[in-house]
Structure 1
Amino acid sequence: MNKFDDHATKSLLDKDLITENQYKEITAYRNLNIFSLNAELKLFLYLSVLLFTSGIGILIYKNIDSIGHVAILSILLIIIGVCFYYCFKNSKGFQKTETVFESPILEYLVLAANILTCIFIGYLQFQYKPFGTHYGLATLIPTLVSFFCAYYFDNKSVLTIAITGTAAYIGLSVTPQDLLHNDFYSNPNLSYSAIILGGLFILYTIYSLRINLKTHFNIIYLTFALHLISIASISNLVDDYNDDGIWMLFGLLLAGSSYYFYKVSHETKAMSLYVFMIIYAYIGLNIFLFRIFQFIDFSDIWELFVFILPAYFIGSIVLFIKLIKKFNKETAE
C-alpha cells in the first residue's frame, strides 16, 4: 500500500468517518496488493475498435476499384446496422444520470458503430454527393448522430467525436496541435468563433448542472472550452493586426478564463484542467509582458535583464511544481 493511500485512509479514521476495525480491514486488504485488469482490458478493446475501423478505411482505399462503391457502402451499412441493433437491444435506454452497463463491450460497439457511420456518410458524400455542394451537411449529420448516441448510450468517446464534429462544422480543428495550425492570423473571425464556441460549452455545463443532465460529461466540454478559448486568445495576443490595443482585451479574456478554470478545476478536482490552465496562463502572461516591454527602453539595463531571465524560468518551474503539489493536497482532503 502506498503512502498516499495510507494517509488518505488514516485521515478518514481521524475524522471518525470509519471505525478502527474498518481501518484495519482496509489496510489488510490493500496489503494484499491485488490489482484490477479492468483498465488494461478496456484499453485493448479501444485499440481493437481503432484497428478495426482503420482496417475498414484501408480496405476501402486499396480495393475501391475491384470491390465497387455500392458493395462497400452496403457492407458498411450492414455492419453499422448489426452494431446498432445489438447496442439498442442490450442498452438500458436514456437516463439523465450516469449509466453503467454490465458489459464493457457495449460501450465499444457504440464507438465502432459511430465511427463507421461517419465513414459511411463521408464516403457517400464523396462518391455520390447526395447533399450536393452542401458539404457541411456531411459533417453535421454524423455530428447529430454522435450527440444522440453519446447521450443515449452514455458514451464519452462518442461525445468527443460529436464535439469535434461541431467545431469542424464551423471550420475549426479542436485538438491543441491542430488549433495551433488554424488560420487565425489571416482570418480573425475564426478565432472569434473558437472563443464563442468555448463560451457556449461553458454555458452548457452550467445549464446541465442545473437540470442534472449527464453532469459527468462536463469535464469533456470544459476541456474543449479551455483549449478553444485559451489558444484563440493567445493567437490574438501575438497577432500584429491587434497593434491598436485590442490585444489587451484578449489578455483580459485569457486572465478571466484562467480564473474561471482555476475555480472549476478545484470544484471538479480535475488535474488536467488545472495543468493546462497554468500552462496557458503562463504563456499568455509572458506574451502580455513582452508586448508591454516593447514600449520600454532596455538599452541601459539589458545586461541585468539577461541575468534575471534564467532565474525567472527556473523560478517558474519551481512554482509550477509547488502549485501541482498544493492542488493534489487540496483535492485529497
Structure 2
Amino acid sequence: MTQFNEQLTQELFEKNLITENQFQEVKEYRNLNIFSLNVELKLFLSISVLMFTSGIGILIYDNINSIGHIALLTILFMVTCGCFYYCFKNSKGFQKTETTSESPFLEYIVLTANVLTCIFIGYLQFQYKAFGTHYGLATLIPTIVSFGCAYYFDNKSVLTIAVTGLAAYVGLSVTPQDIFNGNNDFYENQSLSYSAVFLGMVLILWTIYSFKINLKTHFALVYLTFALHIISVASITNMLNEEITWLLFTLILAGSSVYFYKVSYQQKSISLYVFMIIYAFIGINIFLFQIFKHVDFNDLWELFFLLLPPYFIISIVMFIKLIKNFNREIAK
C-alpha cells in the first residue's frame, strides 16, 4: 500500500498537479509513519457506552429487591441528569448545519444520556405504570427526547435510537432478530405492512423537506437507510401473499427501488445501492415465482434446473459489474 501511494504521488508530481515543495512535504510526512487511532478510539468509546448502560441494567436487575425501586430510579435519574448537564454545558447549541464538538467525549455522553433516559422511562412504566395502559407513551416520550437531542447535539447515533423508537411506536420491531423471529408479522397483518410503508414514505418526505430548508442534511443517510429497509421488507413479505395485494406491493417495491437507485447516486452511498440491488433482486425472483406458478412445468423441469446455475452466475457477475460501475461513477 505504501509503495502504491508513493507511485500515485509521483504521478501527481510528474503531471504538475502538485509542486516540488508539496511533493517533498508529502514524502517527509509519510516517512514519519504516523497513523491514526481515531477509529479504534471511537470503537472503544462506543463499547464503553454499551458496557456502562448494560451495567446499569444489570445493577437494577441484581439489586432490585435489596436497594429498592425508588432508590434505583433516583440514582438512574441523577446519572441521566449529570450526563445531560455535561452535554448542554459543552455543546455549541442548535445549528441547522453539521457541527463539530470541541469535546471528543460529547457525542458519547449524549448517547449515554439518551440510552439512560430510555431505561429510566421504561423502568418507570414497568414498575409503576406511570402512563397507565398507554404503553405507547413510554415509547413516544423517549423517541421525542431522542429526536430533540439528535438535532440539538447533532448526533447520528441518537437519531438512530429516535427512528427506532418511532418505528416501535407504530408497531414495528426493526432489529434483524425480531424480523426473523416473526415479531413483524407482515404476512398475517397487512395493516402493519401499510404502516411500515407509510412510515418509510414519511422518512423519505422528511429527508426531502430537510434538504429544502437546509436542516441537518447530513442526517439524510440515516433516514433513507431506515426507509429502504422498512419499505423493502414489508413489500417483499407481502409479495409472497396469495391475495391480489401482492401486485400492489410489487409496484411499491419497484417504485422504491427506482427511487433509491437515484438517491444512492445523489448521496454517493454504496450501502443504499447494495441493499437496493439485493431487495430488487429478491423482489424480481418473487415476482417471477408468482407468475410462473400458474404455468405448467411438467415438461420443462429439466430445462428449468439447467437454467438455474447460469441464472445465478449471471446475477452474481451483474451484481459485481453494477458495484464497480457505481464506484466509478461516484468517483468522478
1:35 partner letter: F
Deviations 1:186-206 (A, max 9, x none): 211001100000001000110
Number of the residue aligned with 1:304? 303
Distance 1:31 1:144, change over 3 A: same
**Contact 1:176 / 1:227 at 8 angstroms: preserved in 2?**
no
**CA drift at 1:7:** 8.9
- Structure 2: which amino acid aligns with 1:209? F
**Range moving further from structure 2, 36-45 or 292-301:** 292-301
The yes-or-no answer on 1:175 pairing with 2:179 is no
Secondary structure, aligned partner of 1:325: helix
Letter in 1 for 2:217: T
TM-score, normalised by the number of residues in structure 1:
0.93
- 1:254 and 1:6 mapped to 2: Cα distance? 46
Q: Is the 8 A contact 2:84 2:110 kept in 1?
A: yes
CA displacement at 1:2 relative to structure 2: 6.0
Aligned equivalents of 1:250 and 1:14: distance in 2? 56
Alignment partners' CA distance in 1, 2:221 and 2:10: 30
Q: Give the aligned residue type for 1:137.
A: L
State the alpha-carbon separation in 2 of the partners of residues 11 and 208 from structure 1.
41
* Matching of residue 232 in structure 1 with residue 231 in structure 2: no
- 2-side partners of 1:252 and 1:58: how far apart? 47
Q: Write the deviation string for residues 307-327 of structure 1: whole angstroms up to 9, x where unpaired.
A: 110111111111111111111
Counterpart of 2:238 in structure 1: which amino acid? N
Contact 2:98 2:216 survives alignment (8 Å) = yes
1:66 counterpart SS class: coil
Q: 1:183 to 1:14 in 2, by over 3 A?
A: farther
User: Which blocks of at least 5 consecutive residues in structure 2 are unaligned?
Assistant: none
List runs of 5+ in structure 1 lacking aligned partners.
none
Using the TM superposition, give the Cα deviation of residue 3 of structure 1 relative to its aligned residue in structure 2, in angstroms.
8.4
User: Aligned ranges for residues 15-164 of structure 1 at < 5 Å?
Assistant: 18-21=17-20, 24-25=23-24, 27-28=26-27, 29-30=29-30, 33-164=33-164
Q: Cα distance, 1:20 vs. partner?
A: 3.9
Return the offset for 1:249: 2.0
Q: How big is the shift at 1:175?
A: 2.9
Q: Relative to 1, partners in 2 of residues 1:304 and 1:97: Cα closer, same or farther, differing over 3 Å?
A: same
Which whole-Å deviations, capped at 9, do the CAs of 1:209-260 have from their partners, x for residues lacking one?
01110000010000000001101000110022x2x3x212211211111111
User: Aligned to 1:168, what secondary structure does the other structure show?
Assistant: helix
The answer as to whether partners of 2:232 and 2:253 remain within 8 angstroms in 1 is yes
Q: 2:14 and 2:196 mapped to 1: Cα distance? A: 48
2:208: which partner in 1?
206
- Whether the aligned pair in 1 keeps the contact of 2:240 and 2:286 (CA below 8 Å) is yes
Q: Could you tell me how far apart the structure 2 residues matched to 1:264 and 1:314 are?
A: 28
Supply the distance in 2 between the matched residues of 1:7 and 1:306 (Cα, whole angstroms): 49
User: Helix, strand or coil: the match of 1:183?
Assistant: coil
Residues 197 and 302 (structure 1), Cα distance of their counterparts in 2 relative to 1, 3 Å cut: same
CA–CA distance in structure 2, aligned partners of residues 4 and 171 of structure 1: 51
> 130-139 vs 5-14, which deviates more?
5-14
The percent of aligned pairs where both chains have the same amino acid is 69
State the Cα distance separating 1:13 from its structure 2 match.
7.7
Cα distance, 1:282–1:30 mapped onto 2, change above 3 Å? farther
Tell me the amino acid that sits aligned with residue 284 of structure 1: G
The one-letter amino acid paired with 2:157 is S
Of the structure 1 ranges 323-332 and 148-157, higher mean CA displacement relative to structure 2 is found in 323-332
Encode CA deviations 1:79-113: one digit per residue, 9 max, x unaligned.
01111111101100000000100122111001001
Do the aligned partners of 2:13 and 2:23 also contact (CA within 8 Å) in 1? no
TM-score, normalisation: structure 2: 0.93
Aligned residues: 329
Change (3 A) 1:173 1:112: same
Q: Is the 8 A contact 2:143 2:165 kept in 1?
A: yes
Q: In structure 1, what is the Cα distance between the partners aligned to 2:263 and 2:118? A: 33
How far has the Cα of 1:32 moved from its partner? Answer: 5.1
Match of 1:272 in 2: 271
Give RMSD over aligned pairs. 2.2
